[in-house]
Amino acid sequence: MNSSRNRALEAWMKEHGYSSNSLAEAVNSAVGDLTGRFGGLDGSSIRDWKAGRVRWPKSATRTALEKVTGLPATALGFVPRGRAPSSTPAPPPEDPVERRRFLAAGTALAAASAAPASATNRRVGTSDVVRLQQRFTEIIASDHRHGGRLGIEQQATSLADEAMALQNSGSASQRVRAHVYGCAAAFRSSAMWAAIDGRRYDDAIVHMREAQALAELAADPAIKFRIWSHAGTLYRHMGRPGEAIAANDVARGLSITRRDPLFASLGLARQAAIHGLARNLKAARRSFDQAQDAMHRADPAADRPVWMTSFYDQAELDSLALTGYLALGDYETAEAHAHRCLAALRPHMRRSKAIATTRLACAQLGQGDMEAAVSTAMSVPADAAAHHPRVAGMLHTFNSRINTVAPNSSTARMWNQHVHTMWKEPV
């Protein structure tokens, strides 16, 4: 029998840029976080939800959906079994000012709401830290798959609050407390990165300030480096190279860069990308050369945090070089680094592959090689092209340039047909 359509879910998906397939993938990933086994939804499952054929998803799926969206299932138009459907219209889009106010409350609110557990005599120990670190690993993996999704930002924020609540749940050694603060700072830094990657810069600044305060309590130079290095990236994406260099200099000045050349290499590579934005070719080349030299000196077997080992390698250095030389207008050098990056990327770096492929297309177009540029751009996965803010933004610019340079060419017509298919309303 036909049920009334779930307009609330449809409205949320449209507002946040999800197709049926991409929402299924996000919920499946969240199910995996909850149960240890990846979920089994596909696009048709979500279309059943939108059509009202499924009014109340199973418990684990429902909980996973709530983690992805940050909303209770009832606010998404689902109706518990035995309850009549509501005629209430879909909720209006969230007020961004109110959302930033909520984020700013963040850690302090969680700490205040968690009453000291003096009556329970609970002991916070190493096992709690290990559990939090495992959740952090899951956040990192989700980020590499999906990029700057709002659901990742919200989940990381929630886990930071959970870590802070743990601080008030019982007694702990000074060492364990420092580790818990470090976990909270790590979660906040991931929320910050998801917001940067999704171009939600005001929210990223809120997360940055929370993360910086927590990192000071943790006294962990590795997480301090991550936060200040991300701050440099944030300001670079905002087009503020002066502040980007200043923030990145803080990261590069930490003791960990003197102890471990790999941290020094990452700081130098990101500095070079900032010099690219500032159109300082000499400084960019010097910093890239120094970053490469530091990477060669780094011990591959050294013990490093998971966020570092999971992403920074030769492929990421070449990705940052691609970014810098593209900004400088040195398209030939940018293309060379793009090919090196794509050849060396590890399979789990799906978001990074989509970004590097898009930048390669831009570098080829910059050299006037339209056929190669269009072929490369058409190879970008449709989900990233439509839903990853950075990829979508670059492809929109690419689209404008193609149709300005050669609007009536067969290559432009082929690209426009691809765009029509890729950016049409999802089924």
Residue 86 has pLDDT above 50, yes or no: no
The confidence score (pLDDT) of residue 81 equals 66
CA atoms 52, 56, 61, 62: torsion sign: positive
Looking at per-residue pLDDT, the higher value among 31 and 161 belongs to: 161
Q: 426: pLDDT confidence band, cut at 50, 70 and 90?
A: very low
Residue 9 has pLDDT above 80, yes or no: yes
Looking at 251-265, 279-293, 356-370, 393-407, which range is the least confident one?
393-407
The confidence score (pLDDT) of residue 378 equals 94
Task: Pick from 105-109, 268-272, 417-421 the range whose average pLDDT is largest.
Answer: 268-272
Q: What is the DSSP letter of 240?
A: -
Task: Pick from 66-70, 125-129, 351-355, 362-366 the range whose average pLDDT is largest.
Answer: 362-366
Residue 22 has pLDDT above 80, yes or no: yes
pLDDT, mean of residues 6-29: 85
Residue 95 has pLDDT above 90, yes or no: no
Q: 36: pLDDT confidence band, cut at 50, 70 and 90?
A: low
Q: 149: pLDDT confidence band, cut at 50, 70 and 90?
A: confident
* DSSP strands (E only) in 113-247: none
Looking at per-residue pLDDT, the higher value among 396 and 280 belongs to: 280
pLDDT digits (tens, 9 = 90+) for 314-329: 999 999 999 999 999 9
pLDDT, mean of residues 323-350: 94
Residue 17 has pLDDT above 60, yes or no: yes
The confidence score (pLDDT) of residue 244 equals 96
Residue 106 has pLDDT above 50, yes or no: no
pLDDT, mean of residues 396-423: 87
Query: 2's torsion region: left (phi>0), alpha (psi -120 to 50) or beta?
Result: beta
pLDDT digits (tens, 9 = 90+) for 41-53: 988 899 999 998 9
Mean pLDDT of the chain: 84
pLDDT, mean of residues 11-33: 82
Residue 83 has pLDDT above 60, yes or no: no
Residue 87 has pLDDT above 90, yes or no: no
Q: 121: pLDDT confidence band, cut at 50, 70 and 90?
A: low
pLDDT digits (tens, 9 = 90+) for 194-249: 999 888 999 999 999 999 999 999 989 999 999 999 999 999 999 999 999 999 99
pLDDT, mean of residues 249-264: 96
Residue ranges covered by each domain of the chain: 7-76, 97-115+122-219
Residues near 147 by Cβ (< 8 Å), separated by ≥ 6? 194, 197, 198, 351, 354, 384, 388, 390
The confidence score (pLDDT) of residue 423 equals 63
pLDDT, mean of residues 145-161: 85
Looking at per-residue pLDDT, the higher value among 80 and 305 belongs to: 305
